[in-house]
Amino acid sequence: MRAPLPPDLFDPACPSAVTPFQIGDKWGGMVLVCLADGPRRFGELRVPLHRVSAKVLTETLRALERDGMITRTEYDEMPPRVEYAITDLGRTLFPAIEACRAWAAEHLPALEAARASYAGRTA
């Protein structure tokens, strides 16, 4: 059995909303990272992705499934159980995700300064 996802998997100050790179959408890359070690249930994903509403997480999961990045497996059990897993195609995004994270770590202060400067000019 895999360890549960920690609630602090993503830094609360994570700049995902401000980086110019998004895998699929704002939350898609984070969902893929959560699935890197194996299948997860919706409730498990909600722990580190607590800033995402249930509706938006559902939409993100559907979009990733539609694009072939993840699979959704329903189990005929009581209570019903659904798991999401990353596909081989989804795993091909990890180098790009890591490159985006490295880029952000190096360049985020300059990006934020540019945005603040721009906002000051347009205010």
Task: Kindly state whether residue 39 falls inside one of the protein's structural domains.
Answer: yes
* C-alpha torsion 24→49→54→111, nearest 10: -50
pLDDT band at residue 23, thresholds of 50, 70 and 90?
low
C-alpha closest to that of 32 among 114, 78, 111, 98: 98
Domain count, the chain: 1
Q: What is the pLDDT of residues 56-80, one digit of tens each?
A: 999 999 999 998 999 999 999 998 8
Q: Which residues span the domain enclosing 34?
A: 28-122
- DSSP-derived secondary structure for 19-71: SS--SSSTTHHHHHHHTTTS-B-HHHHHTTTTTS-HHHHHHHHHHHHHTTSEE
- Residue 15 above 90 pLDDT? no
CATH number, domain of 85, equals 1.10.10.10
Task: Kindly state whether residue 21 falls inside one of the protein's structural domains.
Answer: no
**74 beta partners:** 82
Q: What is the pLDDT of residue 22?
A: 58
Task: Kindly state whether residue 110 falls inside one of the protein's structural domains.
Answer: yes
Task: Kindly state whether residue 19 falls inside one of the protein's structural domains.
Answer: no
Amino acid at 122: T
Task: Kindly state whether residue 59 falls inside one of the protein's structural domains.
Answer: yes
Tell me the Ramachandran region of residue 38: left when phi exceeds 0, alpha when psi lies from -120 to 50, beta otherwise.
left
pTM of the model: 0.77
Task: Kindly state whether residue 117 falls inside one of the protein's structural domains.
Answer: yes
Task: Kindly state whether residue 6 falls inside one of the protein's structural domains.
Answer: no
pLDDT band at residue 10, thresholds of 50, 70 and 90?
confident
Task: Kindly state whether residue 16 falls inside one of the protein's structural domains.
Answer: no
